[in-house]
Structure 1
Amino acid sequence: MARRATFFGFEPWKNHIPKWFPDRNCRVVTRNPELMLRRGWPFRLLLSPRQEVFVWGFKHPPFLRKFCRLFGIPFFHVEDGFVRSVSLGALRAAPAALIIDRRTTHYDAQNPSDLERTLQTYDFAADSTLMERADKCIRMLLDLRVSKYNLGRSVDMGTILGPKSKKRVLVIGQVETDAAIAFGCDRPVTNNDLVRLAASENQGAQIIYKPHPEVLHGTRVGVSDPAEVADLCVVLNEDVTPADALDCADHVYTITSLMGFEALLRGIPVTCIGLPFYAGWGATDDRQPSPRRMRRLSAREIFAAAYLLHSHYFDPETGEPTSLETVIRRLSDMRDVAPLQQPQ
């Protein structure tokens, strides 16, 4: 008999869940805590044997995890993977990749995740097949210029920045209220703070600030105003592709953005103010201590663990399970024929 799986916080993706979890009897529950209790959750979990619980990120009431631990119900965090879509999650584009973790989300620097454990212990040198596949996938991502969202406009950065005459430092903006910062950074920090730090540490360099696409497209609200640091940097006020922005960078500053890892894959030095999954392993310039992360790893080893060992992939159009290689090709094809997503 198929296991019963109950999903909390998945409303935007509820129609995709049966394809993502075809071997489970799936049920989607509201993320509203008051409504949950009125409908008898989480106590209804006790009525079904072979029960599992999946939650989207941290979009669940804290008591739910404690309840599951008390009654021995397997509990999993689910989040977007690293090669996601040709649009924004806020625009209801379903992810083509998921990360499923028993311990916590991959961006939670406060607690060790399954991914962190793998990075700490896996013998990458002994797994030549995995590393050969990682090299192939990295080359595909770079050659096809595929990123997480794949919706920015391809531009000639020279027309925006002018001729290069000095070092260029790219500052990656994020949604400042996002959980990736709340759980990945040990102190409050804004995008403007990051711009000011990059400018102070790189006197004479050209500072380029790329706001987050969700802020540019109006689906999320920023905390800091780019106009306040416009005297220190060139602000990219249109959503240019990550590949174009990274092509012009000699150094990247980020809080916890995935674009920092995409820079590492291109051999660009990266300074991290927070502690994303790829920091703390010796591949980045880290400003937040990571006493748990004692091992030294290369970007390709981190890629192998995060993108291959800990990610699940689904066809962007059908939702059926597939491979990273297929998702890269499909997103590249979809991006090349799809019109640019306009702000709403």
Structure 2
Amino acid sequence: MRGSRRPAIFFGFEPWKDYVPGWFPNRDCKVVSRNPPDMLRGGWPLRLLLYRSAEVFVWGFKYPPFLKWFCRRFGIPFYHVEDGFVRSVLLGAQRSPPASLIIDSRTLHYDARDASDLENTLQTYDFAADKALMERADRCIRMLLDLRISKYNLGKRVSLDTLLGPKTRRRVLVLGQVETDASIVFGCDRAVTNNDLVRLAVSENPDAQIIYKPHPEVLHGTRTGVSDPAEVTDICDILKEDIAPADALEGIDHVYTITSLMGFEALLWGVPVTCYGMPFYAGWGVTDDRQVCARRTRRLTVQEIFAAAYLLRSRYLGTLEQADFEAVIHRLNKQRA
């Protein structure tokens, strides 16, 4: 019955995210306006004290700063929610519901300022003792690569040779991002633009072909960039279409990224990666890092990072109910086809 379920109050979720109750079938869900002034006019967060054993879930950092302090002060469980690493066929900006979420009690996985639940798992979990997990991780990685599934799966299937001509020298791929994205704001200790990253790649690889891949949301017009790609057309080849990540990575010798998840996907494909910022997969010895995180002291493998991020810390949803990673990958593959 509705009254017997634990209350879950959601802040900062877009009105179209009506899929929320499906993710929390054992909770009595209430979605509050994402506009902080509306939260205050509605009597939040004081109204939380009227609920018995309530939990609070916030989307990203879209909540009044004092809300987290308030919950900690009164012992109300507080969780950050964000899209998972395998999301959908279409973009989130196109209002496509996610196939996976990450729910973190400390901070978001892309917030390099503090340790998240994911970071703590990477720092402390005994991967060597969990052979079943690591065997599953190997199978799941192979499935991702065989089916060529990414976070988003609407990119065009076309080879770089078709677009740019035959490969005649080393190819270095620069991954563009939405420069105002929270993963850059909270994942970098200094300002950087996509064009800065292109120039860095050019300076460090003077004899290579530099290929710049703008972010899919910029190419599809759902988000706007800060830097103008026209300013670097003289030093790189720009992919003007949204190319599927697997096709963009094929034949690439090195990847440069700020904090993009596609940088981790490049690692899964065996491509060396330089990180300008500090994404969740940096700082563990598998990337060339240009930022330091003193908290991250372990040396991990790509498989161990995958196991923690995709299997231990992510939650997956089927059509109407909770699902596992494998089922979601097969469903996305069918949807894409």
Query: Which residue of 2 is the match for residue 150 of structure 1?
Result: 153
2:210 aligns to what SS in structure 1?
strand
**1:296 pairs with 293, 296, 299, which one?**
299
* 8 Å contact from structure 2 (residues 84, 314) kept in 1: yes
Q: CA deviation at 1:248?
A: 2.3
Is contact 2:147-2:333 (8 Å) kept? Answer: yes
Report the equivalent of 1:334. Answer: 335
User: Equivalent residue for 2:115?
Assistant: 112
Structure 2 stretches of 5 or more lacking a match? none
The number of residues matched between the two structures is 334
Structure 2 residue aligned with 1:341:
none
Q: How does 1:307-326 map to 2 (within 5 A)?
A: 307-315=310-318, 318-326=319-327
Whether 1:171 aligns to 2:153 is: no
Counterpart CA distance in 1 for 2:303 and 2:55 is: 33
Q: CA deviation at 1:166?
A: 0.6
**Residue segments in structure 1 that go unaligned for 5+ positions in a row:** 337-344
2 CA distance for matches of 1:151 and 1:5?
A: 33
**Aligned amino acid, residue 321 of structure 2:** E
Alignment of 1:75-86 (within 5 A): 75-86=78-89
Letter in 2 for 1:256: T
Partner of residue 282, structure 2: 279
CA distance in 2, matches of 1:303, 1:13: 30
What TM-score does the superposition give when structure 2 sets the normalisation length?
A: 0.98
1:96 partnered with 2:99: yes
* Cα deviation digits, residues 252-311 of structure 1 (max 9, x gap): 000000000000011110000000000000000000011100000000000000000000
RMSD: 0.8
Aligned-pair identity (%): 72
Shift of 1:156: 2.4
Code of the aligned partner of 1:307: Y
Contact 1:3 1:50 in 2 (8 A): yes
Give the TM-score normalised by the residue count of structure 1: 0.96
AA partner of residue 273 (structure 1): Y
In 2, distance between residues paired with 1:12 and 1:207? 41
- Using the alignment, how far apart are the partners of 2:97 and 2:239 within structure 1? 27
2:184 to 181, 184, 188: 181
Rounded to whole Å, the distance in 2 between the matches of 1:75 and 1:84 is 23
The answer (yes or no) to whether the contact 2:253–2:271 under 8 Å persists in 1 is yes
Q: What residue in structure 2 maps to residue 342 of structure 1?
A: none
Question: Per the alignment, in what secondary structure is the counterpart of residue 119 of structure 1?
Answer: helix
Of 233, 239, 242, which aligns to 1:239?
A: 242
CA contact 2:80–2:103 (8 Å) conserved in 1: yes
SS in 2 for 1:141: helix
Partner residue, 1:35: 38
SS at match of 1:124: coil
> What are the equivalent positions in structure 2 for 1:6-85 lying under 5 Å apart?
6-12=9-15, 14-85=17-88
What residue number does 1:160 align with? 163
